[in-house]
Structure 1
Amino acid sequence: MRKPWPRTASQRFEGWRAEFERHRSHHAPTGRHFRVTSAYCEQLYGAHGGRTEATTLGDLGELAELEKRIVRSQQVVWDAHAAEVMAAVSEGGLEATAEALREDEQWIRRLHRDGQPVDVSTDAARWVSGVLGTCPANPLIRAEEIWGLWLSVAGARQICVRVRDDLILELVDAGSPRTHLARALGWSYSRFQRHLARLEEDRTDLALRAAAGQVPGVIGLESRRSARSEKA
């Protein structure tokens, strides 16, 4: 039987909280020593076998498998984060821990419900160990630093999704059968159709905004025409 969470924070927890606040202030504005950068997200994407160029139906299937690998890494990092939060809860209780981490109590309950033992055989577990190697024995600090790693793995997944979605549109535009694309992704046809509809809607919206000069770094065709007219 699990030990019930304390109703009031222990003196030990109060020490953790004070140290955590100093840590957060020292590493403003993110509150953590770990930095989530595009370069590190790209590095993690590559560590999972990510590619930046994809052109074929086979590539689409590989991207689907790649995303699954990244999702598994996210779960390992999530589990490590949950373990540290639960270590804090064991001394601080639910309310005080949520307050210290600036999280909702339901979020912590979700971590308690969904967190699993960390799969130490994975690369993700080794990345977690690397992050924890910079941390004091304070679960509040350790939880926050690990969360930075989770955001980085999520960034790697976003890169994968972007490459995958660009390829979906390219293949559809080239006339590839949609049933074949759905099969390569391991999706039902209805799921693929819903996703494609969103992608096409987003592409149309982006084109309209670009034409109106509302996309930074992109000058719409109408804007160019207007500029040429003014110079004439």
Structure 2
Amino acid sequence: MARPWPRTPTARFERWRDEFVQHREGHAPTGRNFRVTSDYSYQLYGTHGGRSEATTLEDLGYLTEVESRIARSQRVVWDAHAAEVMVAAAEGGLEATAEALREDEQWIRRLHRDGRPVDVSSDAARWVSGVLGTCPPNPLIRAEEIWGLWLSVVGSRRICTGVRDQLILELIDAGRPRTHVTRTLGWSYERFQRHLARLEDDRVELDRRAAIGEIPGVIGLEAHRSTREGQA
């Protein structure tokens, strides 16, 4: 496949780059007008049907469906970002575009290889349109602003997996058969075992840090018991 980018930047790209530098300086420290916040990630989580309370195996199955919906939105936003980067690279070339966006050249090659036409029927495409509605016709600026949206969708997915993982531990602690949990997740048993081992290791480490006071506002159970015994 022929390269989609020239060897040297065009005059149009130079203008885009100058506008992009001014845009970043005007929106310090993130470099973009779009703000990535935990509140917005929670909003996106709710938009995909996410819930904060989950206690049953059925809830676990539901959270798996929510994560799949978020992953599809994540893909749409990724594709929209890739499309803008490719427009920029077609004028600026690989090296100049990578330098302007502060990305690795291989990253842009990956975008070119893996990017797909944007699914315009999706809700995520409408979110992208909302972000682009605030942007000038500059693909560098547009790519950067869409990246903020992508980070927000990633944040909503992390919220989902956090609720899911906590529920996994609660179900296992309650004696729910691991095969039932695995089947609900739609995973192989080997994948589930590896994931559960990581969750349990993380919980042990969190308890250890809480016990020695490394987590502000949290006190480990053993430390709490020792304090009460000392006061008795």
In the superposition, the TM-score normalised over structure 2's length comes to 0.95
- CA distance in 2 between partners of 1:67 and 1:41 (Å): 13
8 Å contact 1:172–1:178 — kept in the other structure?
Answer: yes
Q: Given the alignment of the two structures, is residue 11 of structure 1 paired with residue 42 of structure 2, yes or no? A: no
Percent identity, aligned pairs only, is 74
- CA distance in 2 between partners of 1:69 and 1:146 (Å): 19
- CA distance in 1 between partners of 2:155 and 2:216 (Å): 22
- CA distance in 2 between partners of 1:87 and 1:171 (Å): 48
In the superposition, the TM-score normalised over structure 1's length comes to 0.95
Q: Given the alignment of the two structures, is residue 61 of structure 1 paired with residue 61 of structure 2, yes or no? A: yes
Q: 1:67 is matched by which residue type in structure 2?
A: E
What does the per-residue CA deviation read over 1:56-114, in whole Å, with 9 as the maximum and x for residues that have no partner? Answer: 00110111111011000000000000000000001000000000000000000000000
What does the per-residue CA deviation read over 1:170-227, in whole Å, with 9 as the maximum and x for residues that have no partner? Answer: 0000000000000000001111010000000000000011000001221344378469
In structure 2, what is the equivalent of residue 222 of structure 1?
223
* 1:4 Cα deviation after fit: 3.8
Q: Given the alignment of the two structures, is residue 38 of structure 1 paired with residue 66 of structure 2, yes or no? A: no
CA separation of 1:223 and 1:56: change in aligned 2, threshold 3 A: closer
8 Å contact 2:4–2:89 — kept in the other structure?
Answer: no
* 1:228 Cα deviation after fit: 8.7
In structure 2, what is the equivalent of residue 141 of structure 1?
141
In structure 2, what is the equivalent of residue 189 of structure 1?
189
In structure 2, what is the equivalent of residue 110 of structure 1?
110
In structure 1, what is the equivalent of residue 176 of structure 2?
176
RMSD value, Cα = 1.7
In structure 2, what is the equivalent of residue 21 of structure 1?
21
- Which runs of 4 or more aligned residues in structure 1 lie more than 2 Å from their structure 2 counterparts after TM superposition? 1-4, 219-229
* 1:156 Cα deviation after fit: 0.3
In the alignment, structure 2 segments of 5+ residues that lack a partner are none
Q: 1:213 is matched by which residue type in structure 2?
A: G
In structure 1, what is the equivalent of residue 121 of structure 2?
121
| Correspondence list, 1:196-207, <5 A | 196-207=196-207
In the alignment, structure 1 segments of 5+ residues that lack a partner are none
- CA distance in 2 between partners of 1:126 and 1:142 (Å): 15
Q: 1:74 is matched by which residue type in structure 2?
A: Q
- CA distance in 1 between partners of 2:79 and 2:73 (Å): 10
Aligned residues: 231
CA separation of 1:167 and 1:13: change in aligned 2, threshold 3 A: same
